[in-house]
A = this chain, B = another copy of it.
Amino acid sequence: MASQLDQDQESNQSDFDLLDALRSAIDARDAELARQLAGRMLDDDALELLEDLTGHELARLFAFLGEESLGQLLARLDHRDAAGILTRMSATQAADLLEAIEPDDATDIVQVMTQNDPETAENILVAMEPEDAAEIRELMPYDEDTAGGMMTPEFVAVYPDLRADETVAALRSVAEEISNVQYVYVIDREEHLLGALSLHKLVLSPPQTPVGQLMSTEIWSVRADEDQEVAARLVTERSLLALPVVDDEGHLLGIITHDDIGEIIEEEATEDMERLGGSNPLDVPYMRATPVLLFRKRIVWLLVLFFAQFITVSIQEHYEVMLAQVTLLAVFIPILIGTGGNVGSQTVSTLIRALAVGEIQSRHVVRIIGKEALTGLLLGIVMGVLMFGRALLVGDAKDVNLAIVVGLTILVLTTWAATVGSVLPIMLSKLKMDPAVVSAPFISSFVDGTGLIIYFTLAGYLLHLG
C-alpha cells in the first residue's frame, strides 16, 4: 500500500510537471514544444490542466496551436470547463475557437457561459461569423438532454427534382463548411422532410436520376423535444448513421450524427449506475465534483433510507423482549438481513438494466416474477442449509431449534427479496416512473425491515417466545 501511494504521488507530481512544462514552453515561446505537451495532455486525459492557465498564457497557446487544434482540445473537455477557459480569453479568440467546434458542442458551451456571464457570452457571439453565431442561437432554446440539444444544423437538404450529379456538384460547393456528409435529405418547398439517401447511393446511382426517385421515404426521425436516450436507442438498434430531427409539423430542423450516440449511451448508463448505487446522478465528470456536490447528491437518498430504517429500529424494539430472552438471536441479524439485501440487490440490478436496454417490457411481468421467485427459492435452499449448519456451531447450547429458525429465515427471506426486487422495478416502469429509483441500498433497507419481521415471527413460533 505504501508503495502504491508513493507511485501515485509520483504520477500526481507528473501532472503538475506537465503543467509546469507547458507554462515554461509558453513563456519561452516554444510553439513546437507547447504543441507536443498539449498532445500529451490529450493522451493522458489530463486536459483539465488547461483550466489552470491564465488568460495571458491561453492567448499565447492559441497563437501556437491555432483555432482548429485548440478548438478540438476544448471540444473534448467537459463543456463547463471549456466555458471557463473561453471566458478568460479575448472575445475574438473565443469566437474563433467556437467556430472551430461542432455547433452542438459549441452551443452547450455557450449555454453554460450565458448562465454564468451573459454579457461575455453575447460579446463572443457578436464576434463570431454571423452564420456560425446564428446556428448556435438556433440551437440555444433546446434542452441539453433532448434530441434538439444533440442535433447539428449542419446537414445537406435538396429538393426532390434535383438530379444525382447536380446534387454531387452542390455537395462539392459546400464541402468547406460541412465536414462529413452521410446522408442527403430531401425536403419540399416548405422544408418538410420527404426522404433521405446515403452519399454511397448518390454517388453510385445513374447521374441523371432525380434524387426524389433515389431517396428512401421510409426513414426514421425524432421530434426535437424527445429525450436524447430515445434518439440514441433508435440509432443503435436500427444501425443508422444519422437521425433527422423534426418539429411537430415535420419540418427538418437538424440531424443527430452517430458520433454523439456513444456519448449519450455512456451518459445514460452512468446515471443509471449512480442511481443503482443509491445516489442522485452527478451530472458532471467525477474530477469536477467537489465534496459538497458529492454530499448533496448522496444525502437525499441517505436520509430517505435513514428514516426508513427507523422503522427497522422500531421493529427490533418491538421484539426486544424476545431478544432479551434469547440474546443469541441478535447474533444472526446482520448475516440474515445482509444475505437478503444481497439477493435483492442482485435482482434489482439485473432487472433495472434489462428494462433500460429494452430486453424486458412490463408486459412480461408475470413470467419475470415467477422466474425471480423460483431463483430466490433455489438460492434460499442452498443458503438456508448452509446457514442451518453454521448456526449449529454458535453458542454453547447447540440449539437445533434456533438453527432451524435461522435457516428457514434465509430460505423465506431470499425468496421474498428476489420477488420484491423484481416486482418493484417493473411496477414503477408500469407507472411510467424511472425504475432506477429502486437502488441497491433501497432494496436492502426494504428487505432489512421485512426480514426482521419474518425472523422474529418464525422465532416466536418455533422457539415459543414472545
Contacts and interface: CB of A to CB of B under 8 A. Distances in A.
A314 to B, nearest CB: 9
Given A9-B366, A345-B277, A334 B236 contact: no
Contacts of A433: none
A238 to B, nearest CB: 9
A324 interface: yes
Interface stretch (A109-117, A127-135, A196-204): A196-204
A41 to B, nearest CB: 13
If over half of A's interface residues share one DSSP class (helix, strand or loop), that class is named, otherwise mixed; here it is helix
Interface in A247-306: 258-259, 261-263, 265-266, 269-270, 272-274, 276-279, 282, 285-287, 289-292, 294-295, 298-299, 301-303, 305-306
A317 B279 CA distance: 33
Interface stretch (A87-95, A146-154, A444-452): A444-452
Copies of the chain in the assembly:
2
Contacts of A366: 5, 8-9, 12
A107 interface: no
- Quick one: which of A9, A303, A334, A439 has the most chain B CB within 10 A? A334
- Quick one: which of A273, A278, A309 has the most chain B CB within 10 A? A273
A379 B299 contact: yes
A136 to B, nearest CB: 19
Nearest to A241: B258
A408 to B, nearest CB: 16
User: Closest 10 CB pairs between A and B?
Assistant: A277-B349, A236-B262, A11-B363, A269-B269, A239-B259, A286-B354, A342-B441, A330-B330, A440-B440, A309-B335
Given A172-B204, A440-B440, 16 more contacts: A15-B363, A45-B361, A180-B198, A203-B203, A236-B262, A273-B276, A274-B353, A277-B349, A287-B367, A291-B375, A298-B343, A305-B339, A312-B334, A317-B331, A333-B334, A345-B440
Interface of A: 1, 4-5, 7-9, 11-12, 14-15, 44-45, 76, 168, 171-172, 175, 180-182, 198-200, 203-204, 232, 235-237, 239-241, 258-259, 261-263, 265-266, 269-270, 272-274, 276-279, 282, 285-287, 289-292, 294-295, 298-299, 301-303, 305-306, 309-310, 312-313, 316-317, 320, 323-324, 327-328, 330-335, 337-339, 341-343, 345-354, 357-368, 371-372, 374-375, 378-379, 382-383, 386-387, 390, 394-395, 427, 430, 439-441, 444-445, 448, 452
18 contacts: A8-B365, A11-B362, A199-B199, A232-B262, A241-B258, A270-B353, A277-B350, A282-B350, A286-B368, A294-B350, A294-B372, A299-B382, A306-B387, A320-B327, A334-B452, A341-B441, A342-B444, A345-B441
